[in-house]
Structure 1
Amino acid sequence: MKRRTVSADPAGPAASADPATLAVTTLPATPLFRLIAALLAALSLGLLLQQPSAAASASVRPAAEVIVIIEDGRFVPQNVTIRRGDTVRWTNNDRFDHTVTSSDGLGWDSGVLTPGQSFRRAFPVHGVFRYHDRLNPSITGTVAVR
């Protein structure tokens, strides 16, 4: 190996016996060394350009849709828990007309759903949202948004 002495003194090592003199070892520029250096550089670049990890992308998920069926004069399931941004779809599979109407005074209402019709609503904020069937007020349900 070659050994080169580098001094902190601009006059060079011969002009100073200062303990600030540094010894630097240079590595030989052999083909094997160049190959290893190139492989390490390529690996480093590949890691920098790599797609985000599964853990990082897990925080971003597509919104889900939860289905509530209206049948036999009730909401099934009556209570659902979803994540912020998810959508609930109510489908009237009963023989009679129904509505999905906010009980909390928030103003959302499906209008009359005839058999086979559906209504969707996204829930962008956390909270517990109560609803009922305006045509049959004893039919109730809740959406809990976590």
Structure 2
Amino acid sequence: MARYPTAFAASAALLLSLALASPAIAAPKVHVVVMDKLKFGPVPAGLHVGDTIRWVNKDLFRHTATARDGSFNVDLQPGASGTTKLTKAGMIAFFCRYHPGMTGKLAVAK
């Protein structure tokens, strides 16, 4: 029976060393972009695939956050919010379908 504690300890040590050797994967984050006064607020830096954008419409008008490549379309009444999960890396241009002068770009890394 003395062999089992030794085998268990060796297995535990191996698992611990593998966990420490693995590169850390950042947990997905939620970023906020506010729509107000017929503008999109600042676009957050450090966006990654898997992160979420929470769009918040603080304006008196209905707005959308619509990707030019069709990857997302969030339609928000005044005072509402909605989310988009980032599923691909690259520059993603977006605009408001109701106010085409409202534009922005998301820089999404892997």
1:100 aligns with 2:78: no
Runs of 5+ consecutive residues of structure 1 not aligned to the other structure: 1-39
CA-CA distance at 1:78 after TM superposition = 3.9
- Whole-angstrom distance in 2 between the partners of 1:128 and 1:87: 15
CA-CA distance at 1:86 after TM superposition = 1.1
Percent identical pairs in the alignment equals 30
TM-score, normalised with respect to structure 2: 0.76
1:77 matched residue in structure 2: 42
Moved over 2 A (4+): 40-46, 48-55, 78-81
CA-CA distance at 1:103 after TM superposition = 2.1
1:109 aligns with 2:77: no
Runs of 5+ consecutive residues of structure 2 not aligned to the other structure: 1-5
TM-score, normalised with respect to structure 1: 0.60
How many pairs align? 108
| Alignment root-mean-square deviation, CA | 2.9
1:47 aligns with 2:13: yes
Give 1:1-146 correspondences, 5 Å limit: 44-50=10-16, 52-54=18-20, 56=22, 58-59=24-25, 61-78=26-43, 80-104=45-69, 106=70, 108-111=72-75, 113-146=76-109
Larger RCO (alpha carbons 8 Å, 6+ apart)? 2
